[in-house]
Structure 1
Amino acid sequence: MSELRGALHAFPGAHGAPYGEAALPDKRQVAASFSRAAASYDSVAELQRNVGSQLLAHLPVSLQPRRWLDLGSGTGHFTRALAQRYAQGEGLAVDIAEGMLRHARPQGGAAHFIAGDAEALPLQDASVELLFSSLALQWCADFPRVLSEAQRVLRPGGVLAFSSLCVGTLQELRDSWLAVDGLVHVNRFRHFEDYQHMCAASGLQVLALQREAQVLHFPDLRSLTSSLKDLGAHNLNPGRPGGLTGRSRIRALIEAYEHFRQPQGLPATYQVVYGVLHKP
């Protein structure tokens, strides 16, 4: 039970509140959390691998970048996949978490591994033909700034391909916590409609923008909490409840979550946004 208490605030979910800078954690906390999770991340990153693979499949077949960027590169899984796909190009890997970069660098895949922020990319103007980012941009409060930076660093004809998360992610968890105490135990994400409006106003041509649900199943709540904690995506919301969660609240959460049980186990639903944008 103590292990479960310690993990209960580690959920990257959707609270359903209005999205804005006040809803997001300090980026230094995000970087530190993912740095600590670098060694354990790949062992529990089933969703991340599935989503990134689908994003790769969304890339235009004709695209052959001379230089590409993996933004939010993490442990480098898709950095290496991009390097294999675009063997003739030069790869750059950028992540805000130094620990992730230290973990990824010895495994190769990119010419350079760079600590950087998606809202202020450490790249020159018109320097890449592909900006690939899978499940990283949901941590950015100023998404229009991310799009502006992508437009700046892309060469004419270049492509931004991203996946992110929107409201509805881990809805089962959100509803279960609401039944217990209604406090903020999960991270907030923007609405899908916000992605639509911001991409349309970005100056980039929207080739594809869609939302797809992906569902993972777990035998029990402890398995779910442990998996999310190992990913490093802790709940760092301002106003989150402090300290450990009491036994009675844990039991109430388990009981509430059990109402969602399916034959495959306890579901954890992610609402994934896929976007492919083109710079004219």
Structure 2
Amino acid sequence: MTDLSNPRLPGALPDKRQVAASFSRAAGSYDSVAQLQRDVGNQLLSRLPEDFSPQRWLDLGCGTGYFSRALAQCFPASLGVALDIAEGMLEHARPLGGATHFIAGDAERLPLQDSTCDLIFSSLAVQWCADFASVLSEANRALKPGGIFAFASLCVGTLYELRDSWRQVDGLVHVNRFREFATYQQLSAASGLKVVSLQNAAHVLHYLDVRSLTHELKALGAHNLNPGRPGGLTGRARILGLIEAYEQFRQAQGLPATYQVVYAVLEKPL
């Protein structure tokens, strides 16, 4: 199995410092193009237990704070912490409110005391963490008994149309790598947390053209962050080749971009 924590290996996930810098730069444009992020986060909220009413929650990888504000509305009597590794996102989120505290931190080393949260909510953030076993261990540590870790992430198959189209052009890595769904299953089962639900669902967005898709990925800060990605400007011939290859996927609604989303609700045993 590939060691995703070693950035020198071809299967490595992006370096977290590059992730933080990329999302910090994207803070101002993020919400204007974040329809997928809103749809996925709302779906994750709907998967929380109906009678669940946390007193303290953590929005892990809060980004612009959209779901920190949503959590505050869902649980008005609660106290919330919004945490992100990207300082630029926190600077954007803090004036908009929602959480009681906004702090910079790493999901693999949470700056929280043991057994302090009733809910850890994380939508489309943990796919950037190379050591997901540590994320689960930290969630287990920070949760109170009976607490919930609800996360949405991305797995293999995400943006396969873009990946396959680039492969036809130059064979280089132009699309971010993600874990296998089976890896999420295995690590969650071994985490010490009870798996209440763990599912994989495809979300397909459609675009007028390739440029619209690549512009959105850049505005989100989610463009190619892979180690070993090609450097420098992409030549006109390769861009035309990409456009031609991607056109093979065109549907009546436009060019599809498929996201394979993992939804999980895990509970710390009493």
1:128 aligns with 2:112: no
| 1:234-249 → structure 2 map (5 Å cutoff) | 234-249=223-238
Tell me, yes or no, if the aligned pair for 2:81 and 2:103 is still in contact at 8 Å: yes
Shift of the alpha carbon at 1:19?
Answer: 6.0
1:144 Cα deviation from its structure 2 partner? 0.5
Equivalent residue, structure 2, for 1:86: 75
Provide the TM-score with structure 1 as the length reference. 0.93
Corresponding residue of 2:27: 38
What does residue 180 of structure 1 align with?
A: 169
Structure 1 letter corresponding to 2:258: T
Please, which moves more after superposition, 41-50 or 228-237?
228-237
State the match for 1:111 in structure 2.
100
For 1:122, the aligned partner's letter is: P
Match of 1:269 among 245, 250, 258: 258
Shift of residue 98, structure 1, vs aligned partner = 0.4
Q: Which ranges in structure 1 are unaligned for 5 or more consecutive residues?
A: 1-16
Tell me how far 1:237 sits from its aligned partner. 1.3
Q: Helix, strand or coil for the counterpart of 1:264?
A: coil
Offset of residue 234 of structure 1: 2.6
TM-score (norm 2): 0.96
Q: CA deviation at 1:83?
A: 0.2
Q: Is the 8 A contact 2:214 2:223 kept in 1?
A: no
Work out the percentage of aligned pairs sharing the same amino acid. Answer: 72
Which residue does the alignment assign to 1:219?
208
In the TM superposition, what whole-angstrom CA distance separates every residue of 1:158-182 from its partner, at most 9, and x where no partner exists? 0000000000000101110111111
Q: What are the within-5 Å matches in structure 2 for residues 1-280 of structure 1?
A: 18=2, 20-21=4-5, 22=7, 23-280=12-269
What is the rounded CA distance, in whole Å, between the counterparts of 1:132 and 1:253 in structure 2? 37
Instruction: Check conservation: 1:19, 1:189, Cα contact below 8 A.
Output: no
Deviation at 1:18, TM superposition (A): 4.4
3-state SS of 2:249 partner: coil
Does the CA contact (< 8 Å) of 2:165 and 2:242 recur in 1?
Answer: yes
Contact 1:74 1:104 in 2 (8 A): yes
* In 1: Cα distance, 2:15 partner to 2:250 partner: 34
* Structure 2 contact 27–92 (Cα < 8 Å) conserved: yes
RMSD: 1.0
Q: Deviations over 1:104-142 (max 9, x none)?
A: 000000100000000000100000000000000000010
Equivalent AA in structure 2 for residue 26 of structure 1? D
Distance in 1, Cα, partners of 2:121 & 2:210: 33
Tell me the amino acid that sits aligned with residue 29 of structure 1: Q
Gapped runs of 5+ residues in structure 2? none
2: CA distance between counterparts of 1:249 and 1:59?
45
Greater mean deviation of Cα atoms: 23-32 or 133-142:
23-32
Q: Which string of whole-angstrom CA distances, capped at 9 and with x for unpartnered residues, describes residues 27-56 of structure 1? A: 111111100100100000000000000000
The count of residues paired between Structure 1 and Structure 2 equals: 264
Output the amino acid matched with 1:152.
Answer: R
Measured in 1, the distance between the counterparts of 2:184 and 2:14 equals 20
Q: Partner of 2:185: helix, strand, or coil?
A: helix
Deviation at 1:255, TM superposition (A): 0.2
Give the distance between the partners of 1:33 and 1:162, measured in 2 at CA: 22
Q: Give the Cα separation in 2 of the matches to 1:66 and 1:132.
A: 13
- SS of the equivalent of 1:223 reads helix
Q: Residue by residue, what CA displacement relative to the aligned partner does 1:32-84 show, whole Å, maximum 9, x if unpaired? A: 11001001000000000000000000001111111000000000000000000
CA–CA separation in structure 2 for the residues paired with 1:212 and 1:110: 29
Which structure has more relative contact order (CA 8 Å, sep 6+)? It is 1
The one-letter code matched in structure 1 to 2:179 is R
